[in-house]
Amino acid sequence: MGLRKILTDKEPSLHKVCRPVEKFDHRLHKLLDDMVETMRGANGCGLAAVQVGVLRRIVVIETEEGLFEFINPVITRKSGTQEGAEGCLSLPGKWGKTKRPKCVTVEALDRHGNKIEVTGFDLLAKAMCHEIDHLDGILYTDKVIKMLEADEVE
Protein backbone atom coordinates (compact mmCIF):
# COMPACT_ATOMS: atom_id res chain seq x y z
CA MET A 1 0.00 0.00 0.00
CA GLY A 2 1.14 3.55 -0.54
CA LEU A 3 -0.02 7.10 -0.80
CA ARG A 4 0.12 8.59 -4.28
CA LYS A 5 0.49 12.24 -5.17
CA ILE A 6 -2.78 13.90 -6.16
CA LEU A 7 -2.41 16.04 -9.27
CA THR A 8 -3.98 19.48 -9.39
CA ASP A 9 -6.00 20.90 -12.26
CA LYS A 10 -2.91 22.61 -13.68
CA GLU A 11 -1.71 19.18 -14.90
CA PRO A 12 -2.65 18.62 -18.57
CA SER A 13 -3.45 14.94 -17.88
CA LEU A 14 -6.48 15.93 -15.77
CA HIS A 15 -8.11 17.25 -18.95
CA LYS A 16 -7.53 14.11 -21.03
CA VAL A 17 -9.85 11.21 -21.87
CA CYS A 18 -8.84 7.99 -20.07
CA ARG A 19 -8.58 4.56 -21.71
CA PRO A 20 -10.48 1.45 -20.57
CA VAL A 21 -8.83 -1.11 -18.30
CA GLU A 22 -8.06 -4.38 -20.06
CA LYS A 23 -5.96 -6.28 -17.49
CA PHE A 24 -7.39 -7.24 -14.10
CA ASP A 25 -4.07 -8.18 -12.55
CA HIS A 26 -2.22 -7.47 -9.33
CA ARG A 27 -0.98 -4.13 -10.69
CA LEU A 28 -4.60 -2.99 -10.92
CA HIS A 29 -5.27 -4.25 -7.39
CA LYS A 30 -2.23 -2.38 -6.05
CA LEU A 31 -3.37 0.79 -7.82
CA LEU A 32 -6.89 0.44 -6.35
CA ASP A 33 -5.48 -0.13 -2.84
CA ASP A 34 -3.25 2.93 -3.22
CA MET A 35 -6.16 5.02 -4.53
CA VAL A 36 -8.33 4.10 -1.52
CA GLU A 37 -5.50 4.95 0.88
CA THR A 38 -4.82 8.24 -0.94
CA MET A 39 -8.53 9.18 -0.95
CA ARG A 40 -8.86 8.45 2.77
CA GLY A 41 -5.58 10.25 3.54
CA ALA A 42 -6.95 13.37 1.84
CA ASN A 43 -10.40 13.06 3.52
CA GLY A 44 -12.08 12.72 0.14
CA CYS A 45 -15.13 10.69 -0.84
CA GLY A 46 -13.95 9.90 -4.35
CA LEU A 47 -10.85 9.64 -6.51
CA ALA A 48 -10.26 8.85 -10.18
CA ALA A 49 -7.05 7.18 -11.37
CA VAL A 50 -6.24 10.16 -13.59
CA GLN A 51 -5.89 12.24 -10.40
CA VAL A 52 -2.87 10.13 -9.47
CA GLY A 53 -1.51 10.23 -13.02
CA VAL A 54 -2.92 6.96 -14.39
CA LEU A 55 -4.99 7.59 -17.52
CA ARG A 56 -7.32 4.61 -17.11
CA ARG A 57 -11.07 4.39 -16.44
CA ILE A 58 -10.87 3.61 -12.71
CA VAL A 59 -12.77 5.24 -9.84
CA VAL A 60 -12.99 4.71 -6.08
CA ILE A 61 -15.77 6.23 -3.96
CA GLU A 62 -16.49 5.97 -0.24
CA THR A 63 -19.72 7.16 1.35
CA GLU A 64 -21.93 6.01 4.22
CA GLU A 65 -23.13 3.27 1.85
CA GLY A 66 -19.63 1.79 1.75
CA LEU A 67 -16.55 1.58 -0.44
CA PHE A 68 -17.02 1.24 -4.19
CA GLU A 69 -14.45 0.40 -6.84
CA PHE A 70 -15.60 0.98 -10.42
CA ILE A 71 -13.60 -0.14 -13.45
CA ASN A 72 -14.74 1.14 -16.87
CA PRO A 73 -17.92 2.62 -15.32
CA VAL A 74 -20.85 3.83 -17.43
CA ILE A 75 -23.88 5.77 -16.20
CA THR A 76 -26.92 3.86 -17.46
CA ARG A 77 -29.75 5.75 -15.71
CA LYS A 78 -30.20 9.11 -14.05
CA SER A 79 -33.22 10.85 -12.59
CA GLY A 80 -34.17 13.88 -10.54
CA THR A 81 -31.90 16.78 -9.70
CA GLN A 82 -29.97 18.00 -6.69
CA GLU A 83 -28.08 21.24 -6.16
CA GLY A 84 -25.33 21.64 -3.65
CA ALA A 85 -21.69 22.33 -2.87
CA GLU A 86 -19.10 20.24 -4.64
CA GLY A 87 -15.34 20.05 -4.24
CA CYS A 88 -12.48 18.07 -5.75
CA LEU A 89 -9.19 16.79 -4.31
CA SER A 90 -7.50 18.22 -7.42
CA LEU A 91 -8.81 21.72 -6.62
CA PRO A 92 -7.94 22.01 -2.94
CA GLY A 93 -9.75 24.70 -0.97
CA LYS A 94 -12.28 25.42 -3.73
CA TRP A 95 -16.01 24.74 -3.72
CA GLY A 96 -18.73 25.31 -6.24
CA LYS A 97 -22.47 24.97 -6.49
CA THR A 98 -23.47 22.33 -9.04
CA LYS A 99 -26.60 20.67 -10.35
CA ARG A 100 -26.45 16.87 -10.52
CA PRO A 101 -28.96 14.04 -10.86
CA LYS A 102 -30.54 12.90 -7.58
CA CYS A 103 -30.34 9.22 -8.51
CA VAL A 104 -27.77 7.51 -10.73
CA THR A 105 -27.22 3.91 -11.81
CA VAL A 106 -23.73 2.85 -12.83
CA GLU A 107 -22.65 -0.32 -14.61
CA ALA A 108 -19.00 -1.23 -14.21
CA LEU A 109 -16.58 -4.06 -13.58
CA ASP A 110 -15.08 -4.92 -10.19
CA ARG A 111 -11.36 -5.49 -9.60
CA HIS A 112 -11.69 -9.07 -10.86
CA GLY A 113 -13.51 -8.13 -14.06
CA ASN A 114 -16.99 -9.17 -12.85
CA LYS A 115 -19.93 -7.04 -13.93
CA ILE A 116 -21.54 -4.92 -11.18
CA GLU A 117 -24.40 -2.45 -11.03
CA VAL A 118 -24.87 0.18 -8.32
CA THR A 119 -27.71 2.66 -7.87
CA GLY A 120 -26.95 5.63 -5.63
CA PHE A 121 -28.85 8.64 -4.34
CA ASP A 122 -27.75 12.07 -3.12
CA LEU A 123 -24.02 12.16 -2.22
CA LEU A 124 -23.29 8.79 -3.84
CA ALA A 125 -25.06 9.86 -7.06
CA LYS A 126 -23.16 13.15 -7.07
CA ALA A 127 -19.83 11.39 -6.43
CA MET A 128 -20.45 8.87 -9.22
CA CYS A 129 -21.16 11.70 -11.70
CA HIS A 130 -18.16 13.73 -10.52
CA GLU A 131 -15.70 10.82 -10.68
CA ILE A 132 -16.93 9.46 -14.02
CA ASP A 133 -16.63 12.98 -15.47
CA HIS A 134 -12.91 12.85 -14.52
CA LEU A 135 -12.50 9.88 -16.90
CA ASP A 136 -13.46 12.16 -19.78
CA GLY A 137 -11.26 15.03 -18.63
CA ILE A 138 -14.20 17.00 -17.18
CA LEU A 139 -13.91 18.84 -13.86
CA TYR A 140 -16.85 20.11 -11.83
CA THR A 141 -15.62 23.64 -12.55
CA ASP A 142 -16.53 23.01 -16.21
CA LYS A 143 -20.22 22.77 -15.19
CA VAL A 144 -20.37 24.80 -11.98
CA ILE A 145 -23.33 27.15 -11.44
CA LYS A 146 -21.21 29.42 -9.25
CA MET A 147 -18.08 29.15 -7.17
CA LEU A 148 -18.62 29.43 -3.40
CA GLU A 149 -16.72 31.14 -0.60
CA ALA A 150 -15.65 28.91 2.29
CA ASP A 151 -18.37 30.34 4.60
CA GLU A 152 -21.09 29.42 2.09
CA VAL A 153 -20.24 25.70 2.27
CA GLU A 154 -22.31 23.69 4.75
Residue 88 or 128 having the CB closest to Zn ion: 88
CB of 134 to Zn ion, least distance (A): 6
Residue 52 or 88 having the CB closest to Zn ion: 88
> Which residues, in sequence order, are CB contacts of 139 under 8 Å at separation 6+?
9, 14, 15, 88, 90, 91, 133
Residue, CB closest to Zn ion: 88
Annotated catalytic residue within 131, 149, 152, 154: 131
Residue 13 or 24 having the CB closest to Zn ion: 13
User: Are the beta carbons of 62 and 36 closer than 8 angstroms?
Assistant: yes
Query: Quick check: is 69 catalytic?
Result: no
Residue 109 CA to residue 88 CA, distance in Å, equals: 24
User: Are the beta carbons of 132 and 138 closer than 8 angstroms?
Assistant: no
Task: Give the residue from 66, 55, 68, 1 showing the smallest Cα distance to 31.
Answer: 1
Contacts to Zn ion by CB under 5 A: 88
Q: Tell me the catalytic residues.
A: 131
